[in-house]
Amino acid sequence: MKTPALVTVFAIIILSSSLSAQGFVELKSGEDSQINGMIVSFNVVKKQTKKGNDLYKLTATVTNQENSNFRLFNKAQDVLIEETKNAIAYFQFTNATGKAMSSTGARFYPSPVYIKVPYECEKCPPLKKDEDPNEYYSKSMVIGTEFATGSTISKMYNIRVPEGEEPTVRVMIY
C-alpha cells in the first residue's frame, strides 16, 4: 500500500522539477542573466513615438557559456528548417503590440552543420581535365546543428509598445 504512494510522490517531484526548469525568466534591459549555461540579455533604444505607440530597436543576445550544443539529425536535409524543436531560446516581448509588422517574440536557432556528399548526374556538363570528379559531383547537405561553447547569436528587432511603457522581455531556454 505504501509503495504506490511513494512512487506517486517521487513522480510528482521529478515532473514538477523538470517543468519549472523550462519556464520563462524575466529580463532587465542591459543586464546579463545566466540560464542553463547560456548568458542572455537584451538592450533597447527608443526610436520614435507615433500614433500612441513607442517604437524601440531591441537587440537580443544569447551566448553559450558551457557545453557545446550539438545535435545530429537522423536524415540529412538540403536546408535547415527553423522549427521550434530546433530552437535554442525563445524571447517573448510581453507588452509588444505587434502593430505595423513589429515583432512580439523571437526564436534563436543554432548554426547548421554541413557535409559534402557525392551524387550521380546524368545530364551534367563534362569535366575539365584538371577538375576533381569527387568535388564536381558533390553538394552540401545539413546533417545537424551546433551552438559551440563561447558562440554568440545576436539579432535586432523593431518592437512597438503602448506609449509611455518600457519594453518587458522574458526568455525561455530550450
What are 74-122's pLDDT values in tens digits?
Answer: 998 888 888 888 899 999 999 999 998 899 999 999 999 999 887 777 7
Task: List, in sequence order, every residue forming a beta bridge with 73; answer none if it has no partner.
Answer: none
Q: Is the pLDDT of residue 51 over 70?
A: yes
Q: State which H helix or E strand residue 8 sits in.
A: helix 2-21
The pLDDT score that the predictor gives to residue 5 is 59
Distance CA 33, CA 42 (A): 10
The pLDDT score that the predictor gives to residue 76 is 87
User: CA nearest 145: which of 91, 50, 79?
Assistant: 79
In order of their start, the domains of the chain are: 25-70+82-112+146-173 (2.60.40)
The pLDDT score that the predictor gives to residue 66 is 85
pTM: 0.74
Is residue 172 within 8 Å of 23, Cβ to Cβ? yes
Query: What separation in angstroms does the CA of 85 have from each of 66, 82, 123?
Result: 21, 8, 38
Give the chain's largest Cα–Cα span.
81
User: CA nearest 152: which of 67, 62, 69?
Assistant: 62
Q: Is the pLDDT of residue 11 over 60?
A: no
